[in-house]
Structure 1
Amino acid sequence: MCGAAFDGESFVRATVESAGPCPARADYIEICFSTTEGRWKWCFPEPDPADCPAEPTTDLAFTLDNYGAQAHPIVGGRIQPAIPSAAALPMVLAGTPVHISRRLVVMCR
């Protein structure tokens, strides 16, 4: 996935519907996303300022990779290497456009 061109057909645009404590881990925050394919929830660890990327990200793509759901910046129309989930959380809450793999949303219905 890393380095691949961003294919808008394989992803759905998502908006944050709600945020709150993760039901599985007290030190995580659960974000519920709303998409045209349905809702998708993901728990993020509390962010550490050291985890946040120095470069601003214009879009994030959430994909299903070998290690589970991963957040990838989209730069210049290409999917970049995954960033720590804790680094993605402040971006999501700040309103960075989010695109979730259609496959990931459908699998979690």
Structure 2
Amino acid sequence: IHRSEEAILVTHNQEDRSFIREESYDQLQRSQMRYIHLGILQVRIQSLHRQEEGTLALLVFRDNRWSDDRSIIATMEVDLTRDSQLVYVIPDTMMTIGD
């Protein structure tokens, strides 16, 4: 089992992230793993300001290998009125570590 965790600050409309960070990719290659199973994705969104204003955030998990609707793994709209939101997505998808 391989897990990775990363804290990021998003100060604009969109943040593109890869499922596997470079350090994780190197570790998976050294372990001679070729495939990964995306069993669960977890994101916590915390608003640092504008609480109690009905601010909404749209989370979209996409697979950039596709350019049409197949690219969407999951979407979730969350309300940041009361501090933070925790989102779990269970895509149950296999892919190569190079994808």
TM range (shorter): under 0.3
Greater Rg over alpha carbons, structure: 2
| TM-score (structure 2 length as normaliser) | 0.28
User: By percentage of residues, which structure has more strand?
Assistant: 1
- The TM-score normalised by the length of structure 1 is 0.26
